[in-house]
Amino acid sequence: MKLPENGISREDALARLAKMRENDLHWRDGKTFAYVYQPTPEAEEVAKTAYGEFLSENALDPTAFPSVMAMENDVLAMAAAHLGGDPAKVWGSFTSGGTESIICAVKSARDHARTHRPHITRPRMIIPVTAHAAFHKAAHYLCVELDLVEVDPETFGASPEALAAAITDDTILLVGSAPSYAHGACDDIVGIGALAKERGLLFHVDGCMGGWMLPLYKKLGADVPDFDLSVPGVTSISMDLHKYAYCPKGASVVLYNDKDLKAHQIFSCSNWTGYTIINPTVQSTKSAGPVAAAWTLSQYLGLDGYLDLARPVLEATIAAKQGINEIPGLRVMGDPLMPLIAVVSDEVDIFHVVDEMKVRGWYIQPQMGLRRPDGTRYRENFHLSLNATSAKQVPGMLVALRESVEAARAYPKIDMAAQLQTMLAGFDLEKLSDDAFGDLMGMAGVQGTNLPERMAAINGLLDALPPQIADKVLTAFFTNLNHASE
Ligand SMILES: Cc1ncc(COP(=O)(O)O)c(C=O)c1O
């Protein structure tokens, strides 16, 4: 598109905007089990109003907008108390999301090691294979090497023994999830904390998903494992507010119970000709909308409001797990307490189940498998994240799922791995040229950057490709996806 020569009316511009989203997921009906976290419409409206009020304020400079700093500190104090920390002894930052919180935590650990363990020239961190990809991204951005450890094949939780076996002289950071996204499984945070303490290592808990919800679940009487800042050995924790605290997107916190560690997060630059730059987080100029929304929502909902939002989700998760296990051909992986449910099948191609759900107006998320060193696999599956609105749709979702599984039986399970062996022989995978990429995607039914309605073949291809090659294919696809042509 070219910049229009002449502007149009507000109504027409907004009408064009509305038209733009025609093909988006229609998530407001609660039939989308990923990406969105819906509180009540009233709570959403309060948060949006607060966001709009502070949309243009710049959280770059806390001295220019003291209200923004005050709100950030209030949110951090509430978060610290929620996560078992002594607010007087916890330092942290408000960030734009889980990925930024994790990048900040890894940067702090890396720079802490540079100061306190200067002999380490190639810092390493140990993460379970179930840890969010944001840790891979942080490692990539910050030049920290990764050591991946396997998790229990039944519970999908990581044990301290597995992490202990991977520790080397260059290890600077241990990581555990509470819980992981993929299977909703909590690692043994108490055990890993004890290990971290014994070996003098930093330990980050990824509470992006569970940080807000698990303490509420505990108050509701659920059997919640210890995972927070009160666990000995935990040195930092991330918690997303734009997930189960139902804040608008762009809201997360990273907290430390060591001031020196937090200090290593901050980037300051006086060696240029412009204004003073002190960035505690990755972003520099940033809207104060997210922090204003988080602060206002905390006041509006309060603990009782949050408990009211958490209770139906807890109950719906139990009903969903049971209902799914009763559908012939489906099985929940592990036994997630959090509303993050991964489902596997020995009878049907789950990627066809995902497509069949879409035909019926439901969105569930495909997740790829991953090979273990012993040759077995973490199985491909589909994933459901429930929220306060979609929780109400669980009975309907189970009906649609049962139908979708039956419909998926009509599609033979494609042995992509076998087909790939011959396919890949013709490709120079090191240099995935545009042509080779086009051919490969063409075999999965993709023309250019237009994705087909049914995604099973593409998901099957991505599932069967070795991860390094899948990454190349995805990189090539995304490079082509965003272009400036008309
Ligand atoms: C456990 C966990 N950690 C980190 C992240 C990354 O968060 P974000 O997408 O907000 O960057 C996610 C996202 O789903 C997550 O589930």
Indicate the domain borders of the chain: 50-296, 305-408, 416-481
Please calculate the CA angle 476-482-483 and round it to the nearest 5 degrees: 105
E strand or H helix at 384: strand 381-385
Give residue 372's pLDDT: 94
Indicate whether residue 206 lines ligand 1 (CB < 6 A): yes
Give residue 429's pLDDT: 66
**How many residues would you count in the chain?**
486
Q: Whose CA is nearest to atom 16 of ligand 1?
A: 181
- How many Å apart are CA 168 and CA 378, to the nearest integer? 26
The single residue listed with the structure tokens 């993929």 is 182
Torsional sign, CA 182, 241, 363, 450: negative
Indicate whether residue 461 lines ligand 1 (CB < 6 A): no
Indicate whether residue 208 lines ligand 1 (CB < 6 A): yes
Cβ-contact 126, 147 below 8 angstroms = yes
Give residue 431's pLDDT: 66
Amino acid at 232: P
Q: Which CATH superfamily is domain 305-408 in?
A: Aspartate Aminotransferase, domain 1 (3.90.1150.10)
Give residue 451's pLDDT: 85
Give residue 216's pLDDT: 98
Please give the number of the atom of ligand 1 that sits closest to the Cα of 99.
11
Indicate whether residue 250 lines ligand 1 (CB < 6 A): no
| Token pair recorded at residue 162 | 């597995």
Distance between Cα 269 and ligand 1 center (Å):
29
Give residue 480's pLDDT: 81
In 3D space, the residue among 237, 219, 206 whose CA is nearest the CA of residue 90 turns out to be: 237
Q: Whose CA is nearest to atom 5 of ligand 1?
A: 98
- How many Å apart are CA 248 and CA 48, to the nearest integer? 7
- Choose one of 240, 246, 282 to mutate for the ligand 1 pocket test, by most ligand atoms within 8 angstroms of C-beta: 240
Question: Helix (H, G, I), strand (E, B), or coil: what is residue 450?
Answer: strand
Which residues face 177 on adjacent strands? Answer: 206
- Choose one of 132, 180, 209 to mutate for the ligand 1 pocket test, by most ligand atoms within 8 angstroms of C-beta: 132
Give residue 204's pLDDT: 98
Distance between Cα 99 and ligand 1 center (Å):
6
Indicate whether residue 188 lines ligand 1 (CB < 6 A): no
Indicate whether residue 182 lines ligand 1 (CB < 6 A): no
Cβ-contact 197, 257 below 8 angstroms = no
The single residue listed with the structure tokens 């993050």 is 340
Indicate whether residue 177 lines ligand 1 (CB < 6 A): yes
Cβ-contact 172, 204 below 8 angstroms = no
Distance between Cα 64 and ligand 1 center (Å):
31
Give residue 447's pLDDT: 77
Indicate whether residue 132 lines ligand 1 (CB < 6 A): yes
CATH topology of domain 50-296: Aspartate Aminotransferase; domain 2 (3.40.640)
Indicate whether residue 128 lines ligand 1 (CB < 6 A): no
Indicate whether residue 159 lines ligand 1 (CB < 6 A): no
Give residue 482's pLDDT: 80
Give residue 428's pLDDT: 67
Q: Whose CA is nearest to atom 4 of ligand 1?
A: 98
- How many Å apart are CA 205 and CA 255, to the nearest integer? 10
Give residue 450's pLDDT: 80
Indicate whether residue 367 lines ligand 1 (CB < 6 A): no
CA distances for 456 relative to 18, 147, 333, 378, 415, angstroms:
30, 32, 21, 18, 12
Give residue 432's pLDDT: 67
Distance between Cα 238 and ligand 1 center (Å):
10
Per-residue pLDDT of the chain (486 residues; tens, 9 = 90+): 999 999 999 999 999 999 999 999 999 999 999 999 999 999 999 999 999 999 999 999 989 999 999 999 999 999 999 999 998 899 999 999 999 999 999 999 999 999 999 999 999 999 999 999 999 999 999 999 999 999 999 999 999 999 999 999 999 999 999 999 999 999 999 999 999 999 999 999 999 999 999 999 999 999 999 999 999 999 999 999 999 999 999 999 999 999 999 999 999 999 999 999 999 999 999 999 999 999 999 999 999 999 999 999 999 999 999 999 999 999 999 999 999 999 999 999 999 999 999 999 999 999 999 999 999 999 999 999 999 999 999 999 999 999 999 999 999 877 777 777 776 776 666 666 767 777 777 777 777 778 888 999 889 888 988 898 888 888 888 888 888 876
* 50-296 and 305-408, same CATH topology: no
In 3D space, the residue among 75, 387, 38 whose CA is nearest the CA of residue 239 turns out to be: 75
Distance between Cα 124 and ligand 1 center (Å):
21
Indicate whether residue 280 lines ligand 1 (CB < 6 A): no
Please give the number of the atom of ligand 1 that sits closest to the Cα of 240.
10
